[in-house]
Amino acid sequence: MGMRHIGYATRTIPKFLEPLPGGAKTVDAIEFVVAWARANSLWPLIYGTACCAMEMMSTGSSRHDWARFGVEVARATPRQADLIVLAGTIVEKMGSRLVTLYEQMPGPKYVIAMGSCAISGGPFYYDSYSVIKGGDRLIPVDVYIPGCPPRPEALLYGIMQLQEKIRTEGRRNPWKIGTLNQTPFGDPLSEAKKVWADLEKSRTAPSPAISDADSGNIATDRPKPIKRPATEQFPEVARNPLSASRLDNETIFACILENFPETTLTRQSEHTVEQVRALGPEYLLDLTVPLHRYVEMVAFLKNSALLDMNFLLHVTAVDRLDRFEVLAHLLSADRGHNILVRCALDRQYPEIPSLSPLFAGAIWHEREVFDLFGIRFSNHPDLRRLFLEDNFPGHPLRKDFDDPSRVVRRPY
């Protein structure tokens, strides 16, 4: 960090040296040394969020060793760093934290956007409600490294390009904070398809007449098609046999029908034990129960000595446009059989009792469903948003969710 404090000296010394004979060259020499030292003593902040972070770690490891290029120990605090490598996806909830880290870094400071996610949102550009479409919409970026993910060699090259920029800085070209990308979101795929269509139209247009003398000068060789390698064939892998201790679906369904006769098989024409037997042993038993018996049935599945479904795998939901469905996936951790229990909810006022009195893990899963679908769980001990900020408008996994300020719809 000592080099950063030289900035004060480089701003004050020229005032005294430049009026002297040869003073300007002396100042230029001092600025050259300071810029060289700053360029070759970059201290990056630890900031890896996705697969690009693996490549960044590889760049710092012994094989590539970015310390050879003056990028030394990665720092865990912004007050001891002058470089952020945005290595991975940046989501909206993370955005304010990233801005805070950047503002806490002392200047001069620099940013490298590594990979397509950090540059433009990458594969999450379309239909994404939470991914920021480029780190330069939050903090100014100095160097962009394309790729998904880019290799360590590409990151090293990007670091060298940043060092070239730093070496040019001085009193004639002072460092300053860059500008943010404020261009509106667009649909680059549709724009590219239009350009290609216009190009193909120009290619198929009739060409002007060519004389016999000129026809011999036209190259007629076309590029040879690339021969694809044969697909490697792998031997079929035998399925693992079902656990001998697990109950078969017929026994489970017969036990449930005896206690809850209104239970039905989801998306099946018949709701009998014979129908379950016809679906085979690999069928995941998928049952629909009325709302008023949802918690009672889950409690029965957990406490039954025969079924013993003592583990809640997850609670999730599905938007069917005309209704919501809440699904609870239960497992017998000791015997291995599992079951899906689903319940239909009114779309206008979706509310269902919480499973948290039966399974503590339901607290987390039901908060996720509330956050993304807006389904309320009565008697939940801590019903609040889990992934998104409290002021996020709406619930993004509803099929009627639309927010043009965040989401670019996929054109296909």
Please spell the DSSP secondary structure of 1-17, one letter per residue.
-GGGGHHHHHHHHHHHH
Which of the two residues, 231 and 364, has the higher pLDDT score? 364
CA angle at 49 for the pair 43 and 53, rounded to the nearest 5°: 60
Of 320, 343, 344, 328, give the one whose Cα is nearest residue 398.
Answer: 320
With 60 as the cut, is the pLDDT of residue 210 above it?
no
Would you state the pLDDT for residue 3? 45
What does the pLDDT read at residue 8? Answer: 61
Of the candidate ranges 65-69, 97-101, 160-164, the one whose mean pLDDT is the lowest: 65-69
Q: How confident is residue 229, by pLDDT bands cut at 50, 70 and 90?
A: confident
> Given pLDDT bands bounded at 50, 70 and 90, which one contains residue 2?
very low
Tokens 């870094």 — which residue? 105
User: Which 8-state DSSP code applies to residue 207?
Assistant: P
Instruction: Please say if the pLDDT value at position 182 is more than 60.
Output: yes
| CATH of segment(s) 40-167 | 3.40.50.12280
CATH architecture of 249-378: 2-Layer Sandwich (3.30)
pLDDT, position 1: 41
Residue spans in the chain of domains classed CATH 3.40.50.12280? 40-167
Residues of the chain with CATH 3.30.460.80: 249-378
- Average pLDDT over the chain reads 88
**86-90, 189-193, 250-254, 381-385: segment of lowest average pLDDT:** 189-193
User: pLDDT band at residue 28, thresholds of 50, 70 and 90?
Assistant: confident
Asked whether 376 and 350 are in contact (CB, 8 A), the reply is: yes
pTM of the model: 0.76
Q: What is the pLDDT of residue 31?
A: 81
